[in-house]
Amino acid sequence: MKKLLLGNAAVAQGAYEAGVHFVSSYPGTPSTEITECMAAYPANEVYVEWAPNEKVAAEAVVGAAIAGGRAMSCCKHVGLNVMADPIFTDSYIGVNGGAVFCVADDPGMHSSQNEQDSRHYARAAKMPMLEPSDSAECKEYTKLAFDLSEQFDTPVFIRLSTRVSHSQSLVEIGQRKNRDVKPYEKNIKKNVMMPANAIARHVVVEQRTDELKKYSETTALNTVENNGSKIGVITAGISYQYAKEALGGNVNYLKLGMVYPLPEKLLKDFAASCDEVYVIEELDPFIEDICRSLGIDVKGKECFTMLGEYTPSMIASAVLGKAPAEFDKPDEIVPARPPVLCPGCPHRGTFFVLKKLGLTVSGDIGCYTLGAVAPLASVDTTICMGASISAAHGMAKVRGREFNNKLVSVIGDSTFMHSGITALSDIVYNKGCNTIIILDNSITGMTGHQDNPTTGKTIRGEATKQVDLIKLCEALGVEHIAVADPFDVKNFEKVVKEEVARDDVSVIIAQRPCALLKTVKYTGHCEINTEKCRKCKLCMKLGCPAISVDGEGTVRIDKTQCNGCGLCVSVCPFGAIEKQD
């Protein structure tokens, strides 16, 4: 039976069919749905969990594989940075049951803070990497990855990109092959990575790479399509699909399904059979550089950009000199529509207050990064998960007390659990005086509502123990902890003022659930009483998508956008906004 599946769902189906026992991941666009789909398979067949961060998830997978299970972890490209430590050493240890690490890059940065190319990790960690180009390959390559992992005693990477992860195409659905967890045997030389043992394992890793290179020469993952042309194209992943559409039968293809290690002889032979060879790959010149190091004369980044996504027309123009299709354009500038905090978002109350108080805001990653968008424009910095706390520590130490008394960190509940705890302990330990606001909206919001250790539910929706943020902060040594509702704007402002002025570290837990949670039931909508409205436009400072001003300065609330959360009602100094049921 064939089914229309997202690339991510197809990876999950592949892992399922391969008999995977254990999946642990931390969410991250565009990889999130793989693990969500895994949780739709029966619990007695696959154990699935959200881990607090990628490093923990990867270590759990390493352990599960050492213990004899087939195991997988999935993350976005920046998640791989967090995973890197265990993975580089797991490469030395190898596996018992197969281990697969699936990483999704985001060319074009649809939902990311950078555009890094994960293929460099395969080379650096000396691990094989497969790269599918559509959903059918997502399934097949994932199954194969588990086999390769066990055959070559190595963890294996699968690399996806946004357009592979989030495109649907047809996939043949197969049966699961149930397999027993392999026996566990204690093996100190292989599994205890201290210098004497690691020195010996490094030798094995280099031999393994040589073996994998031989495999790459003959595997069906790497295919030549000879169309009798003088032009050759070497490509992989989604770029292959773009090239196929753009160039059709006008060129010969070497499609690489295994992007590390590369088949050196196959590359040389393919290049020798053509007069002109292009390497077509989004982001960095990874294949191109290896071709050049082998002495192969290729055209690459001088014809194509390192920035963003490719398109078929871009490729047709670079290789065949073909003009792109004609099109019409609007005769004026069309206003952009950047993402915004949703109507009813609890973060809006927080940023309204922080902006009003003119504080420096050390920001983090989550829906609340949108606190940097006008008119709130409150956030000063966003770096990576957890950095709101640690970066503020650096700022405070360098700029001193006066600066610190106007500085706060904002961090979501999921992000705090991911990597905020260690940063907070740094501040307490090193006598900092920062104020940290934990934006507790009871969910991992940005990536589409995943549970985390603070929500009291597992990925399968079962009740579980719940981290108590107050006790956690107390245990770290924080003596001043306040809980406040960001929609009670007056009180929230008072609490923030008190805590930032304090010459000691303090934590404010801003507690109000995400407006999109099913348990949150705002009703009705708000309306402006035009008699009472003095057109002061204070409500406009909330940056609520439902509130706007017309040409005459009259404020209006769009009923189809408003969910009746009432934040504007509490902000209006003239009582001119009224809640309607």
Ligand X SMILES: Cc1ncc(C[n+]2csc(CCOP(=O)(O)OP(=O)(O)O)c2C)c(N)n1
* Tokens at 332, concatenated: 């004026």
- Distance of alpha carbon 169 from alpha carbon 137, whole angstroms: 10
Residue 140 near which of ligand X, other proteins, none (CB within 5-8 Å, type-dependent): none
Near ligand X by CB under 6 A: residue from 277, 341, 365, 495: 365
Residue 458 near which of ligand X, other proteins, none (CB within 5-8 Å, type-dependent): none
Asked if 73 contacts 28 with a C-beta cutoff of 8 angstroms, the reply is no
- DSSP H stretches of helix in 94-155: 119-125, 135-152
Closer residue to ligand X, CB minimum distance, 20 or 385: 385
Residue 38 near which of ligand X, other proteins, none (CB within 5-8 Å, type-dependent): none
- Distance of alpha carbon 228 from alpha carbon 420, whole angstroms: 57
Near ligand X by CB under 6 A: residue from 252, 378, 441, 455: 441
Sign of CA dihedral 199, 203, 209, 212: negative
What is the chain's Cα-based Rg?
A: 27
For every residue of 315-375, DSSP letters joined together read HHHHHH-PPPPP----SSPPPP----PPTT-HHHHHHHHHHHTT-EEE--SSGGGGGGSTT
- Whats the size of the chain, residue-wise? 581
Give the interface size with other proteins as a residue count (CB under 8 A).
Answer: 66
- Distance of alpha carbon 59 from alpha carbon 87, whole angstroms: 8
Candidate ranges 298-306, 308-316, 441-449, 564-572; the one touching ligand X (CB under 6 A): 441-449
Residue 385 near which of other proteins, ligand X, none (CB within 5-8 Å, type-dependent): ligand X
Closer residue to other proteins, CB minimum distance, 96 or 241: 241
User: Binding to other proteins by residue 329, rule CB under 8 A?
Assistant: yes
Binding mask 104-133 for other proteins (x = CB under 8 A): ------xx----------------------
User: Binding to other proteins by residue 335, rule CB under 8 A?
Assistant: yes
The interface with ligand X within residues 156-185 (CB under 6 A) comprises none
Cα angle 470, 476, 477 (rounded to 5 degrees) comes to 95
Residue 444 near which of ligand X, other proteins, none (CB within 5-8 Å, type-dependent): ligand X
User: Binding to ligand X by residue 413, rule CB under 6 A?
Assistant: yes
User: Binding to other proteins by residue 324, rule CB under 8 A?
Assistant: yes
Q: How far is CA 572 from CA 17, 297, 490, in A?
A: 58, 68, 12
79 SS3 class: helix
| Residue in the block written with tokens 């010996």 | 200
The interface with other proteins within residues 49-88 (CB under 8 A) comprises none
For every residue of 438-488, DSSP letters joined together read EEE-SSBTTTT-B--TTTSB-TTS-B-----HHHHHHHHT--EEEEE-TTS
Facing residues of 463 across strands? 457
Question: Nearest approach, Cβ of 79 to ligand X (angstroms)?
Answer: 4
Binding mask 262-301 for other proteins (x = CB under 8 A): ----------------------------------------
* Tokens at 492, concatenated: 């929230």
User: Binding to other proteins by residue 341, rule CB under 8 A?
Assistant: yes
User: Binding to other proteins by residue 447, rule CB under 8 A?
Assistant: yes
Asked if 138 contacts 72 with a C-beta cutoff of 8 angstroms, the reply is no
Residue 433 near which of other proteins, ligand X, none (CB within 5-8 Å, type-dependent): none
User: Binding to ligand X by residue 446, rule CB under 6 A?
Assistant: yes
- Distance of alpha carbon 135 from alpha carbon 98, whole angstroms: 22
Closer residue to other proteins, CB minimum distance, 63 or 513: 513
- Distance of alpha carbon 410 from alpha carbon 345, whole angstroms: 15
Candidate ranges 118-126, 144-152, 234-242, 255-263; the one touching other proteins (CB under 8 A): 234-242
Question: Nearest approach, Cβ of 27 to ligand X (angstroms)?
Answer: 5
The residues of the shown chain that bind other proteins, judged by CB under 8 A, are 2, 4, 6, 29-30, 32-33, 110-111, 134, 163, 166-170, 238, 241-242, 244-246, 248-249, 309, 311-313, 316, 322, 324-342, 367, 370, 373-375, 446-448, 540, 543, 545, 547-549, 558, 560-561
The residues of the shown chain that bind ligand X, judged by CB under 6 A, are 26-28, 54, 76, 78-79, 82, 365-368, 385, 412-415, 439, 441, 443-447
